[in-house]
Amino acid sequence: MQRYFLKQTKIIDGGFELSSEVAHHFVTVMRAQVGDLAEFVLDDGVEVVAQLIKVDGKRAWVQVDHEITTSSELPVNVTLACGVPKGEKAQLIVQKATELGVDKIIFFEAERSISRWHSDRRQKKIEKLVKVARGAAEQSHRTVIPQIVYQTDLLQAVNEAAAEHQIVAWEESAKQGEQSNLSRVFHQMQNGDTLLAVIGPEGGLTEDEIKRLTDRDVIPAGLGPRILRTETAPLYLLAAISYYFELEK
């Protein structure tokens, strides 16, 4: 079933009018007929299944069928801080991390980041990524659209996250056969806790960046013995979190 996020919408007398954007997609693109159902996430996080009851030109109204009470959100809050990657990889990270349940993605300028988002184009890039996140959140039936943030500095990214648990994915850690830090952090976490995971760009983080992070109590953790690309590491981490907190625990 199609899912839509609706801003500034409240249920009045058991129904609501769709925003023009959502009305266009549901009625014109998806060719919904009166009687058809879709899922809607309203401003306050309320999720409902509602039925199309009236179309008038470009306007459309639905009536609530029932509220959705099962949650599709991860039981822990995950913030990714990713060194700015090359090309279209930021989009891939945002799309896949959203599907996998991330709460917030901070892109930061790492020492080895080849790309920088210059301040005049930054807002446009973020807006495009927010759109990708929104589409992925609708597609994966989430309640939350992840936030996308840009920081020029690594430690500002760490501050921005303000997380109770902090790890950095570190290739050298994996190479040296370290394989218990990730699991140790998971075991310490409670439902509702916030985890920050820092991930380097192509070429990884520098020794100096790792030191600045460990000085701030960010724990280096290997993600298995294979070397993962910069866009694969966040997906590995989120899938491991989902498995541990949603399926294994």
Binding site for a second copy (CB under 8 A): 70-72, 96, 99-101, 139-142, 177, 179-180, 182-183, 186, 222-229, 232, 235-237, 239-240, 242-244, 246-248
**Pick 23 or 169: Cβ nearer a second copy:** 169
- Taking the complex as a whole, the smallest distance from the CB of residue 49 to a second copy amounts, in Å, to 13
- Taking the complex as a whole, the smallest distance from the CB of residue 131 to a second copy amounts, in Å, to 17
Question: What's the rounded Cα separation, in Å, for the pair 158 and 214?
Answer: 11
**Pick 20 or 139: Cβ nearer a second copy:** 139
**Pick 181 or 214: Cβ nearer a second copy:** 181
Question: What's the rounded Cα separation, in Å, for the pair 217 and 207?
Answer: 15
**Pick 57 or 225: Cβ nearer a second copy:** 225
DSSP string, 182-210: HHHHHHH--TT-EEEEEE--TT---HHHH
Residue pair 106/134 in contact (Cβ under 8 Å)? The answer is: no
- Taking the complex as a whole, the smallest distance from the CB of residue 215 to a second copy amounts, in Å, to 25
- Taking the complex as a whole, the smallest distance from the CB of residue 1 to a second copy amounts, in Å, to 10
Question: What's the rounded Cα separation, in Å, for the pair 163 and 239?
Answer: 19
Q: How far apart are the first and last CA of the chain?
A: 29
- Taking the complex as a whole, the smallest distance from the CB of residue 183 to a second copy amounts, in Å, to 5
Residue linked to tokens 């099962």: 70
**Pick 155 or 189: Cβ nearer a second copy:** 189
- Taking the complex as a whole, the smallest distance from the CB of residue 236 to a second copy amounts, in Å, to 4
Question: What's the rounded Cα separation, in Å, for the pair 145 and 103?
Answer: 7
| Contacts for 209-212: CB closer than 8 Å, 24+ residues apart | 209/110, 209/111, 209/154, 210/168, 210/170, 212/154, 212/155
Between strands 15-17 and 59-67, the pairing is antiparallel
**Pick 104 or 142: Cβ nearer a second copy:** 142
